[in-house]
Structure formats: structure tokens, C-alpha cells
Structure 1
């Protein structure tokens, strides 16, 4: 301020004050937006809601041109959970830390990058992206880098390297906590409905889900097939090869059953060496085909033991269709159990359909 004119000096001071007030108001509005986002992150109730909040709502609320979420998923937990979720935009799932190390190196701090870092922008947002400046936020929990959140803009001045990152650092910390919380919730949910040995659903989950499938089939009058599967001579496998080998057979049989089913079918370990499968909207011929496919896969599989050897196994299958006048799911389950008994009595390693299955199939519309 070099002017000696007092009035000019006052005007200049007013201009500077006005500029400071506008900057303060802008920061206050920014703080309010970040505060509202943090509250929503803390309150999310599902992984679907969390992902949509970070990738869709953030983009709209902060006037971004791009938003990306990378999540480390070496054990494919998220790959199993996310495909069924109706998300506008899905996160990128990483098998290892290499892409994250390429972005953050050893520093693992928020990075503001501009057009001069075009290769880094292309890596973060993909080749051909219109992004010209970006904020790259590391997601860290308990000292571990679990992912990254990327905000991008076409404006090359939006994320200037000299700008402060206080708000962004806080946001990345809250987002990391929310992601970890959702992952832990998903693990607990899966643990509560999954058999720890075989990876298929457990009896508790089956008892709940089967009543839903039964009521839907009765209400909408579509066929519902039930398979009871039992590994033949399983006690002899344990006695001859040891319980660890028996556990491996159970685990591998569970995997073969799961790979044989469609989305929407239900497989569960019912108890011991018994498995049960529900096939909604499947007629008798289709159910027989699934049962035989599973039986033959088990018959032909070399089951690998913990010692590296192999052994053979077979299973018997009882099949039943939802009775036309059924009043409870127990009727269908009981019919499949009786058919399994007939398969065992008939020589094992075979599929037997309950006598009423043909009548139920004929009565279906």
C-alpha cells in the first residue's frame, strides 16, 4: 500500500478486509460441507451406502469431475460382497499394494497433483481422463494402507500443490474408519451365516432362508426343489485317513456344490457330512440335472489331503419337489430326507427322487 491518499488507503484496507471475509465465508462453507459428509460417513449402514456416498454424493456435493475409490482386497472379501449390490459406481479392488505404493510411495500422505503430473493422473483416473488436478487421499487404518480415495477436477488450479490439506486429511481418516467398520460388519455378517469349515451357508442361515423361499414359492406358485446330499462312508474316510483329511473332503465338497449352482440357489451344510440345496424356480428335470452334476463332480474329483496325497469320495442325493398342497417347509425337507435314505439303501453314489416329486412336477403350472 504505497498511496499517500488516506481515502485510497481506507478503500484498499476495505478491499483486503472484504477479501478476507469472503475467504473466511468460503472456508466456513467448505467446513460445513466436510462436517456434513463426516456425519454421513459415521452413520452409514451398509457398504453399498458407503461406496455411493464416496463416489457419487461427494462428486455432486464438492462439484468434482471425477471420483475414484481403490480398496485393497487380497482375500477377495469385497469381490464376494460387492457384485450383488446395486451401486452406481463400484470401487476398484486391488490384489496387492503395488498400485498404492506407486501413488504414495513411503510418505503415505495426501497428495495434490496438477497437470504437470499427467502420468500420475492417468494412473489414478485412467487413460483419457479429463482430470487436470486431483487430491489423492490415502486410507490408513492401524498403520496399514487399505486403499485410496481420489477427487479430480478439470480445473488445473483446483488442487494446487501449495494448498493446505487439513480438511482432506481429516476426511481420509474418517473414510478409512467407515470402510474398516463396514468390512468388519461384513465379516461378522458372513461369520454368522457361513459354515467356517466349508464356506457354504450354515444351518442357522438355511433355516431362516428356507422359510422365505418356501413362502415365495407357495405365493407365486413356482417350483421349488430340495436336495439332501450326504458323503458316502464318511466315517471310514476319517478312520482310514484321519479327521484332517475328512475336513478337507468336506471343504472341497462344499466348494464343488457351490460351483454347481446358479445365483439365487442356496447351499448349506446341514450337519456333519450332510449338505442341503434349495433350487427355486427349478422343475424336476432341472433339479435332477443339478443333482447329477454335483454327484459326478464329487465322484470324479481327486480330493487332496493335508499331507499332499489324494483320496476318492462319493455322495448320495435325495431329491424332492415342493408338494402341491404343502403347508410347511418341513414337508419338503422330510421328503428329500426320505429320498436320501432310499439312495443310501439302494447302494449309495446315486440320486433318488421322492415318489411324490413327479406328482408335484405334474401339478406345477
Structure 2
């Protein structure tokens, strides 16, 4: 600027003032967007709403090219809960702390990756095909523990500059972490009311409620409904010979094998003691027999690990029944499957029997 020319000085001052006003306006808009997002985070009522908000709405509202959410899931509680939820984009579930350590090291603070920064972090945080050139990596911390991370990415290499401040992002990360912890606690309470604490499958109370819904749907829409009763053979002998902690481990692991054998929409529950029950909507007899035999074979082949590190073996007797076309009560289907499992035990156990009595 030419100091001897007052008009040039005025023009330069006006230019600087306009630049400051534009920056202030942009910051005010950014603050408004962050404030609105924080209010929505605080008000979410479900885990799927929270995830969709962080990964879809945030991306759209802030003009991002990518958003990723990583959540630590050491006990696989999220892995069990999230697959059935209606999410446009699911989070990445981590079974260990390694990926988070790779991103944040020991600092556990927001990282801005811009031009000249470590591009290896971009490759870790986003899929290579996303074309992300700059990013903000937000650690999610609750009660001093790193529970996950939230990543915002842009194809514009200038979008995030490592020299910029992170005040807004730090606040967003803190509120997102609180919302996630709140939803996790709510999900734990919800599942506690309908889940068997030992095996992780649904409990008898939930089964009694859900089975009536499945029954009415099958009758109304005239689609097949199969019911399996699965009973662990000689379970008392396992408890007597190896102790109740080993028996509990067998129950827990059998429950896991059953769960992994089913489709979304199928229902498995611990019915009582060493007995499980499975409902297979829209499944004919051949398909139900295939499922029953797959579960029975998996249990037969599995080495069940004991608390002491040893192994024991176990087998299942399986009773299968199909809902009759003229059925008027779900209890008839349940009774038929119960008859079939007793027949399987009478035939020597470790087999699948289909109920063929007139009632079925």
C-alpha cells in the first residue's frame, strides 16, 4: 500500500474490513450449524438415528465428501445390536484399540490433516477410492476412555489445515461421545429386558411376545412358519462331570452357534435350562430341516472351551414342526416341536426329528 496516497489507504482498509466481516459471517454461520447439530445430537432417541445423523446429515450439512464413524466394540454388543437397524451407512466396529492408536497415538486430540500432512492417516481413516485430500479426525472420549472416532473428509486439500483451530470440532466430539454413550446405555437396558444374560440370545419373555406376532403374520399372509426346539444332550452329565461353570460355557457357546446360523428376521431364544427355541418365518420344511441340521452339526463338531482352557464336546437333539394351515393357536406349533424333540431323544439323541402327528 502506498502510504502517500490516502485514497489507496482507504481502499485497503475497506478491503481488510470486508475480509474480516466475511470471515465473521462465515464463522457465525458455522457456529449456527454446529449449534443446531449439537441440539439434534442431544435430542436423538435411538442408536440408528444417532449414526445416521453423524454419517449422513453431518456430511450433507457441512458439505463434506465423506464421513466415517469408528466405535470400539470389545464385547460385540454393538455387533449384535446394529445389523438389524435401518442405517444408510453403518459404523465400523473395532474389536481392538489398534486402529485408534494408529490414528491418535498417545495424544488423543483432534487431528487436522491438510496439505503436506501425513497422507498415511488419510488412507487409514477413509477408503482409497473416496479421494479424500484433507480431513478432521475427532477422538470420541468418555470418562477418560477412547471409545471411537469420527472422521470428516473433503476432496479439497485446503478444507482442513493443520494450523487451524479445533474448538468447534472438539466440542462436537465431546457431545457426540456423550450421545453415543447414552445410546449404548439405553441399548444395554433395552436388551437386558429381552435377552438371556448368559447366552446372549433372547429370553423366554421376549420369545412369548414375538412368537404371537410371527404367528399372526404367518396366518394372515399364509406363509410358512417353522419352529425348532433344540435340547443339549446329557447336559446334567456335563455339569456333574465338569462343573457348572463349564456347563454355563457350553450354554453360552451353543447360543452363539445358533445365532450365527440364522438370518435377519429369524428368532432364537433360550426357552429354559438347556433348551433353546427357534422360529423361522417364511421357511418351508426343507429349509427348516437344513437350518436344524446345520446347527446340530456345528454343535457336534465344536470343541467347547472350558473356563480352565480345556475342551468338552456336546450334541443337540432337535425337534422341528411346521405351522398347520388351519392353525388357530401358536401353542399347537410349540407343542408339536416339543413332541418332536422328545422323539429325537427317544431315537438316541443327536438327530433332527420332524413332527408328523395329525395335530401338525
Q: Normalising TM by the smaller chain, what interval?
A: 0.7 to 0.9
1:204-353 aligned at under 5 Å gives the runs 204-345=205-346, 347-353=348-354
- Per the alignment, residue 363 of structure 1 pairs with none
Contact 2:84/2:264, CA 8 A, preserved across alignment: no
Taking the aligned partners of 1:272 and 1:238, their CA distance within structure 2 comes to 12
Structure 1 position 300, deviation (Å): 4.9
Match of 2:41 in 1: 41
Q: Distance in 2 between matches of 1:310 and 1:8?
A: 87
Tell me the equivalent position of 1:61: 61
Going from structure 1 to structure 2, the CA distance change for 1:97 and 1:352 (only over 3 Å counts) comes to closer
Q: Partner residue of 1:112? A: 112
The alpha carbon displacement at 1:304 in A equals: 4.1
C-alpha change, 1:220 and 1:129, in structure 2 (3 Å) is closer
What's the offset of the Cα at 1:10?
5.4
Secondary structure of the residue that 1:254 maps to in structure 2?
A: helix
Paired residue secondary structure (2:120) = helix
Pairwise CA distance, 1:52: 1.9
Structure 1 residues 166 and 214: alpha-carbon distance in aligned structure 2, compared to 1, 3 A threshold: same
Task: Tell me how far 1:126 sits from its aligned partner.
Answer: 3.7
Which residue of structure 2 aligns with residue 157 of structure 1? 158
Question: Cα–Cα, structure 1 residues 65 and 279, in superposed 2: closer, same or farther, change >3 Å?
Answer: closer
Distance of 1:57 and 1:85 partners within structure 2: 17
CA distance 1:250–1:149, shift in 2 (3 Å): closer
| Matching residue of 1:192 | 193
Secondary structure of 2:182's aligned partner: helix
Residues 43, 342 of structure 1: alpha-carbon distance in 2 compared, 3 angstrom cutoff? same
- Partner SS for 2:254: helix
Where do 5+ consecutive residues of structure 1 fail to align?
361-365
For the structure 1 residues 302 and 94, does the alpha-carbon distance in structure 2 shift closer, same or farther, using more than 3 Å as the test? closer
| CA distance in 2 between partners of 1:123 and 1:279 (Å) | 40
Question: Quick check: 2:115–2:161 contact (8 Å CA) kept in 1?
Answer: no
Flag the 1:135–1:5 CA change in 2: closer, same or farther, 3 A: same
Distance 1:95 1:186 in 2: 19
Q: Give the C-alpha shift of residue 14 in structure 1.
A: 4.6
Indicate if the aligned counterparts of 2:115 and 2:158 stay in contact, CA closer than 8 A.
Answer: no
> Which position in structure 2 is the counterpart of 1:72?
72
Displacement of 1:218: 0.4
Structure 1 residues 63, 314: CA separation in 2 closer, same or farther (over 3 Å shift)? closer
- Higher mean C-alpha deviation, range 215-224 or range 272-281: 272-281
Stretch of structure 1 that moved more, 249-258 or 40-49: 249-258
> How much has 1:129 moved relative to structure 2?
4.5
Number of corresponding residues: 359
1:87 match: secondary structure: coil
Q: Over alpha carbons, which structure has the higher Rg?
A: 1
**Separation (CA, whole Å) in 1 of partners of 2:263 and 2:271:** 19
Aligned to 2:21: 21
Deviation at 1:244, TM superposition (A): 2.1
Q: Secondary structure at the match of 1:338?
A: helix
Are the aligned partners of 1:323 and 1:356 in contact in 2 as well (CA < 8 Å)? no
CA distance 1:246–1:72, shift in 2 (3 Å): closer
Show CA shifts across 1:151-177 (max 9, x none): 222333322233221111101111111
Give SS of 2:106's match.
coil
Partners of 1:154 and 1:294 lie apart in 2 by: 48
Superposed CA RMSD: 2.7
Q: Is the 8 A contact 2:65 2:154 kept in 1?
A: yes
Which region of structure 1 is more displaced relative to structure 2, 97-106 or 51-60?
A: 97-106
Rounded to whole Å, the distance in 1 between the matches of 2:105 and 2:24 is: 34
Does the C-alpha gap of structure 1 residues 122 and 297 become closer, same or farther in structure 2, counting only changes over 3 Å? Answer: closer
Q: 1:129 to 1:6 in 2, by over 3 A?
A: same
Contact 2:316 2:350 in 1 (8 A): yes
Q: Deviations over 1:108-133 (max 9, x none)?
A: 21122212013333333243543332
Gaps spanning 5+ residues in structure 2: where? none
Report the 3-state secondary structure (helix = DSSP H, G, I; strand = E; otherwise coil) of the residue aligned with 1:116: coil
